[in-house]
Structure 1
Amino acid sequence: MRAQPAVIVLAAGRGSRFLGADHKLAQRLGSATVLATTLRHAVATQLPVVVVTTEAFAEVARRSVAARDVIVLPEVGSPGHEALGMGYSIASGVSGAPDASGWLVLPGDMPMVRSETMLEVARELAQHPVVFAQHKGVRGHPVGFSAELYSELTALRGDEGARRLAARYPAIGVEVDDPGVLIDVDTEADLESVRLAQQAARHEAQRL
């Protein structure tokens, strides 16, 4: 069976800009949480999915993917774990799917990204080293990396992420009719916007 790209869902950050009582990933969106909704869309692609998270969300992740595909990291800022951050999370996720033909990096706080969008980005990885989703010309997520970048991705550390790596290689944007590629839940205002967008989508679906 031919190898496929894997979706790496990043869910190990502090979410420090969200000032609500609970972590942003635990906030409700209808019948599910922010993280569970993101995972549902990732799993619906039928691509391999690896979740990089902390103990607080490990059980939520295991309800969506196999336990072997849940990588549990210490909390960011834990003593002795100064290398933790987005870069380290990406490296851990890529290391967890070493035989994939590429990796789509998707933050766990982006519950509006459609499964079809992930698949469009995944398809382009066969021809390009770096691929990203964009909506109306604005760059968003997921960002895809081909298998040739494995050693560089697994060497990432700290909070730098893969932005510098993406800048070193030819990157193409895939234009998608999916505003969700630009929407993350960083603040309470973001969460309210996502809830309103979900309600509008439900009403539209009922009307059709």
Structure 2
Amino acid sequence: MQTTGILLAAGRSCRLGRDKLAVMMPDGRALAAWTLQAALNASLDQIICVVKPEDSLEWLPAEWLRTAARAYHPDNRLRIVVCRDHAGGMANSLHCGVSAAMDYRPQGVLMLMADQPLITAQDMNRVTTALASHPLCDYAAAADLNDRSGKPPVAFRSHMFGPLLSLRGDEGARRILCNAKYQGIQVSLPQESFWDADTEPQVQQILNYAEKRMWREA
């Protein structure tokens, strides 16, 4: 199943008070680079990174920045898309990502949040595989024991682009996941896969876990 990843990286980091994407991880790379690395390692045909206009992109490793496309090109796997209306809410970032993904005519898209650095390529592949294995489902969403309604990463079939483009303001994909009109499947992932960097305690939790993971994998 041809799937395009959409990495949403145009948030304002209001709660954290500093750029969460650029938080330094234990290996010296930026927090958002960890998420993007997982996406590049996953079985995604393309990855579209949605950013805000003022983003310096310093969180992107130089080699990725050099090779990333800024416009549609069938042979570039990584594409940077600027969302000029990002301040209008999450839906605008979703619109930018979905509109860009449609250039590739994928069978589906995988929505990802840039501030979830502990997500792994295997986690992403489990979600996309679940959707491919259930042809009657409109989407496949990650879930944990505390929230069975679903949360990112979420994979949507291409016929769901219309509903995604109909979202407005701060509406995210959750509105679709909670709509009984659509049928989905939940994929259980480890709790740490959902940790995001909204507050300083959450950032410290992520850094502590990431350091332990690096020691285990060394």
Please, what TM-score do these two structures have when normalized by structure 1?
A: 0.85
Total equivalences in the alignment: 195
SS at match of 2:167: coil
Contact 2:48–2:97 (CA<8 Å) still a contact in 1?
yes
- Structure 1 distance, partners of 2:15, 2:98, is 26
CA shift digits 1:75-132 (9 cap, x unpaired): 644xxxxxx2111111110111111111111111001101011011111222221211
Contact 1:114–1:180 (CA<8 Å) still a contact in 2?
no
- Structure 2 distance, partners of 1:87, 1:8, is 13
- Structure 1 distance, partners of 2:146, 2:184, is 14
Aligned pair partner of 1:97 in 95, 101, 106: 101
Contact 1:8–1:106 (CA<8 Å) still a contact in 2?
yes
- 1:66 CA drift (Å): 3.0
Change (3 A) 1:135 1:163: closer
Contact 1:106–1:141 (CA<8 Å) still a contact in 2?
yes
Q: Where has structure 1 moved over 6 Å in runs of 4 or more?
A: none
Contact 1:141–1:181 (CA<8 Å) still a contact in 2?
no
CA shift digits 1:107-160 (9 cap, x unpaired): 110011010110111112222212111234644420111111111212323111
Q: CA RMSD in A?
A: 2.0
> Does 2:73 correspond to 1:73?
no
Q: In structure 2, list runs of 5 or more residues that go unmatched.
A: 72-78
Equivalent residue number for residue 134 of structure 1: 143
- 1:15 CA drift (Å): 1.2
- AA at the equivalent of 1:200: K
Contact 1:133–1:181 (CA<8 Å) still a contact in 2?
no
Q: Percent identity?
A: 29
Contact 1:58–1:70 (CA<8 Å) still a contact in 2?
no
Q: In structure 1, list runs of 5 or more residues that go unmatched.
A: 78-83
- Structure 1 distance, partners of 2:85, 2:21, is 14
- AA at the equivalent of 1:164: R
Contact 2:131–2:185 (CA<8 Å) still a contact in 1?
no
Contact 1:85–1:158 (CA<8 Å) still a contact in 2?
yes
Contact 2:43–2:125 (CA<8 Å) still a contact in 1?
no
